[in-house]
Amino acid sequence: MIEEIKLPQISENIDSGEVIKVIVSQGDIIKKDQSIVELETEKTSFDVPSTAEGKVVEVLVKQGQKIKTGDTIIKVDTEANGRKNET
């Protein structure tokens, strides 16, 4: 099953940021809570964790891109690692 990993709500007053670094690539096997991108806002920079595990099938952001809460960052095949992800 393909699952979209989206940018979660950052904080009450901040709903967007700039991608400083894309940490994963298409074809990577990732685990839940693994960092997938580094994001910078007006106040801080931080890593955004994955909410699923599996194989990265598509990376939809690039370095320097501005993204908002709810934007899809990557798509993950949650069955590619042989286990079904329970959400």
- Could you read off the pLDDT of 38-68 as tens digits, one per residue? 999 988 899 999 999 999 999 999 999 999 9
Q: Which fold has domain 2-77?
A: OB fold (Dihydrolipoamide Acetyltransferase, E2P) (2.40.50)
Domain range list for the chain: 2-77
Instruction: Return the exposure string of 14-39: e unless at least 16 CB atoms fall within 10 Å of the residue's CB, then b.
Output: eeebebeebbbeeebebeeeeebbbb
pLDDT at 87 over 80: no
